[in-house]
Amino acid sequence: MTKVKIYGAGSIGNHLSNAARSKGWDVTLCDIDSAALERTRNEIYPARYGAFDEEIELVHCDDAPKGGFDYIFIGTPPDSHVPLALEVVKEKPKAILVEKPFATPDLKGCQELFDQCKANGIECFVGYDHAVAASTVKFAEIAKDIKDVKTLDVFFREHWQGIFNAHPWLDGPADTYLGYWTRGGGALGEHSHALNLWQYIAQVVGAGKITEVVATMDYVKDGKAEFDRLALLNVKTENGLVGSVVQDVVTKPTLKSMRLQGVDEALEWQCVPSPYSDKLRIIGEEVKEKIFEKTRPDDFITELNHLEDVLAGGKLSPISIEAGLDTMLVIAAAHLSAQTGEKVTINYAAGYVPEALSTESGSGALKQAAA
Ligand SMILES: NC(=O)c1ccc[n+]([C@@H]2O[C@H](COP(=O)([O-])OP(=O)(O)OC[C@H]3O[C@@H](n4cnc5c(N)ncnc54)[C@H](O)[C@@H]3O)[C@@H](O)[C@H]2O)c1
């Protein structure tokens, strides 16, 4: 039987546990906080899925078994992702799934982790589940045939009250990584699904990687917290595609959309909250609409099916470690651009390190900590 260990018994840890159990996998779910394990058993899992699944082994991280797992998932706050992943590489699972955003904007440990995974032959993925949804697979399939793409825009604009509603034990942003852009929170980290989708579709249409970023961020201080509530990115790829990515934590009702414009045709994608579904509009001489009905658990079951497919067939994955770290480079570039007021250029040959980013004046390293 496939065995998985999941770090973090919070919101995503419960989703991933449920998805793995739906596939009949053996699940060990661990956390450094005993209260989180209790909440999983008594509140989160029963509220979402009807009843706790007693087959899930809930353990404190100190007591969690090491070795013998096919998959290890890291569903903890972003500032613990890379340090934990570097530890679990030593257990040599077949694959690791690291939640989004993959790391912190200082890119600490990113290149080391990338090298370790390659050296040990471990497949590593990032949790951008929208990139493997059936609707996105279809979008990508059609996008390949759009000639002469003019522009691409992706917006994930969603007030984060929904996240706090799902975490009633938190008083607000200052209580969690969400309130600190340096820890991988804020709009750009939390809603980086949008940036990741932009990068994926740009690759699909042959535009290549993002090499130039100009960003404006609306940073706010709220008590101890300091985060970007709005991130506006203008980006350009190595092959000259220009477009935008907008992410925020203030918009209501939610707007999650993607639009690819060709000469006479366009493709539109939307993820709508109620009834939960993805919508695809193919705009040409006529307009065709396709609705992809789904449930929230489906998002993660689809993601795990994708992991299995990649391991079985060696097919390329839009949620590979490369995709997760490319997104981190652009996140870091966007903060640098917003903080220096300059365009930031990304040199991928330098690796997943801060030195891959440069401004024309050479000025300004990224601020290291919230004031
Ligand atoms: N893909 C998605 O759609 C999706 C959805 C929700 C969350 N996420 C991502 O998942 C991550 C966690 O978010 P969340 O909402 O589940 O947070 P959460 O606060 O609900 O849960 C995180 C849990 O991790 C535990 N933890 C912290 N450090 C740990 C460590 N070193 N070892 C083990 N456990 C540790 C905490 O005690 C907490 O219980 C974030 O990166 C977030 O962006 C992704």
Q: Is residue 32 lining ligand 1, measured as CB closer than 6 Å? A: yes
Residues 13 and 29 sit within 8 Å (Cβ to Cβ): yes
**3-class secondary-structure state, position 24:** coil
Q: Give residue 81 CA to ligand 1 midpoint distance, Å.
A: 9
pLDDT of the residue at 184: 98
Measure the CA angle with vertex 259, ends 287 and 99; round to 5°. Answer: 130
Q: Please name every residue paired with 98 in a beta bridge, in sequence order, or none if there are none.
A: 74, 126
Q: What is the predicted pLDDT for the residue at 371?
A: 36
Distance from the first to the final alpha carbon of the chain: 49
Give CA–CA dist 281/272, Å, rounded: 13
> What is the predicted pLDDT for the residue at 362?
83
| Overall pTM > 0.95 | yes
pLDDT higher than 60, residue 39: yes
Write down the number of H helices and E strands in the chain.
11, 16
If asked whether residues 141 and 16 sit together in one domain, one would say no
CA distance 318 to 298: 18
pLDDT tens-place string over residues 281-294? 999 999 999 999 99
- Looking at the fold, whether 56 and 135 belong to one and the same domain comes out as no
Q: Which tokens sit at 340?
A: 């220096």
Based on the domain organization, do 8 and 139 belong to the same domain? no
Of the candidates 227, 247, 251, the residue with the CA atom closest to the CA atom of residue 176: 227
Check whether residue 58 and residue 135 sit in a common domain. Answer: no
Q: What is the pLDDT of residue 363?
A: 59
- pLDDT band of residue 367 (cuts 50, 70, 90) is low
CA distance linking residue 117 with residue 95, whole number of Å = 9
Q: Stretch 234-252: mean pLDDT, rounded?
A: 98
Return the closest-CA partner of residue 9 out of 34, 29, 28, 35: 29
Tokens standing for 27? Answer: 């699940």
Convert the pLDDT of each residue in 337-365 to its tens digit: 999 999 999 999 999 999 999 998 885 56
Kindly state the percentage of the chain with pLDDT values over 70. Answer: 97
Ligand 1 pocket, mutate which of 76, 130, 156 (most atoms under 8 A from CB): 76
Q: What is the pLDDT of residues 148-201, one digit of tens each?
A: 999 999 999 999 999 999 888 898 899 999 999 999 999 999 999 999 999 999
Q: Is 36 in the pocket of ligand 1 (CB under 6 A)?
A: yes
Contact 185, 173 (CB under 8 A): yes
- Number of the ligand 1 atom closest to the C-alpha atom of 128: 1
Instruction: Report whether the peptide linkage leading into residue 101 is cis, meaning its omega lies within 30 degrees of zero.
Output: yes
Evaluate whether residue 308 is within a structural domain: no
Q: Are residues 250 and 336 in the same domain?
A: yes
C-beta neighbour count of 258 within 10 angstroms: 26
**pLDDT digit string, tens, across residues 97-146:** 999 999 999 999 999 999 999 999 999 999 999 999 999 999 999 999 99
* pLDDT value for 60: 98
pLDDT tens readout for residues 2-20: 999 999 999 999 999 999 9
Within-domain flag for 316:
no
Residue 201 and residue 246 in one domain = yes
**Pair 257, 331 in one domain:** yes
| Domain shared by 261 and 171, yes or no | yes
Boundary (domain end) residue, out of 83, 99, 115 = 99
CB-neighbour burial class of residue 50 (10 A; exposed 0-12, middle 13-18, buried 19+): exposed
Q: Is 95 in the same domain as 134?
A: no
How many domains in the chain? 2
Q: Is residue 298 part of a domain?
A: no
| Distance between CA atoms of residues 130 and 201, nearest Å | 12
CATH number for the domain that contains residue 69:
3.40.50.720
Domain contains 115: no
The overall average pLDDT reported for the chain is: 96
Report, as an integer, the average pLDDT of 75-82. Answer: 98
pLDDT at 4: 98
Lowest mean pLDDT among 38-47, 65-74, 263-272, 357-366: 357-366
Specify whether the CB–CB gap between 128 and 100 falls below 8 A.
yes
Whether the upstream peptide bond of residue 78 has omega within 30° of 0, thus cis, is: no
Give the pLDDT score at 370: 41
Q: Do the domain assignments include residue 233?
A: yes
| Cis status, amide bond into 65, omega within 30 of 0 | no
Q: By C-alpha distance, which of 108, 88, 99 is closest to 126?
A: 99
191 with 74, same domain?
no
User: Do the beta carbons of residue 82 and residue 110 sit within 8 Å?
Assistant: yes
Do 77 and 212 have their domain in common?
no
Question: Is 237 a member of any domain?
Answer: yes
Segments forming the whole domain that contains residue 39: 3-99
Domain shared by 150 and 285, yes or no: yes
Ligand 1 geometric centre to CA of 288 (Å): 38
Class of residue 161 by CB neighbours under 10 A (exposed 0-12, middle 13-18, buried 19+): exposed
| Per-residue confidence (pLDDT) for residue 69, from 0 to 100 | 98
Distance 309 CA to ligand 1 centre (A): 25
If you measure from the C-alpha of residue 92 to the centroid of ligand 1, how many angstroms do you get, rounded to a whole number?
22
Atom of ligand 1 nearest to the CA of 167: 20
Which atom of ligand 1 is the closest one to the Cα of 13? 16
Q: Is 230 helix (H, G, I), strand (E, B) or coil?
A: strand
DSSP bridge pairs for 288: 282
- Candidates 149, 179, 152; CA nearest to 77 is 179
Q: Does ligand 1 lie within 6 Å of residue 185's CB atom?
A: no
Question: What is the per-residue DSSP string for 177-215?
Answer: GGGBGGGT-HHHHHTTHHHHHHHHHHHHTT---EEEEEE
- CATH number at 138 reads 3.30.360.10
CA distance 37 to 60: 8
265 within domain boundaries: yes
Q: Is residue 114 assigned to a domain?
A: no
